[in-house]
């Protein structure tokens, strides 16, 4: 996953985002998921990999959606 590559899929609920990354190998495609929280400071929009109590339900929903998307790719 290089910084120049794009995710196979992005999912978002509010300020929480899931990026699904596809890694192709000789054994087929594998997927990994990264989660980020968007926030704004005086300099503009930033990303964080830290989540507060109120972010966790949205993180769980996105994890479920990411799992479903990945599972559907096998069909």
Residue 4 lies in a domain: no
In a domain, 61, yes or no: yes
3 falls within a domain:
no
Per-residue model confidence as pLDDT tens digits over 1-35: 445 589 999 999 999 999 999 999 898 899 999 99
pLDDT at 4: 59
Question: Considering its fold, how many domains does the chain have in total?
Answer: 1
Expressed as residue numbers, the domain containing 53 is: 9-73
C-alpha pair distances (Å), 27 with each of 23, 24, 42: 10, 8, 46
The DSSP call for residue 2 is -
Residue 63: inside a domain, yes or no?
yes
Give me the phi and psi of 63, to 5 degrees please.
-60, -40
pTM for the full predicted model:
0.86
Query: What are the pLDDT digits (tens) for 33-71?
Result: 999 999 999 999 999 999 999 999 999 999 999 999 999
């Amino acid at each position: 996953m290089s910084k120049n590559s794009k995710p196979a899929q992005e999912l978002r609920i509010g300020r929480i985002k899931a990026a699904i990354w596809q890694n192709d190998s000789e054994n087929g495609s594998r997927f990994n998921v990264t989660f980020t929280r968007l926030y704004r400071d005086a300099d503009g929009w930033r990303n964080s990999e830290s989540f507060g109590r109120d972010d966790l339900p949205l993180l769980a929903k996105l994890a479920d959606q990411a799992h479903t998307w990945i599972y559907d790719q096998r069909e």
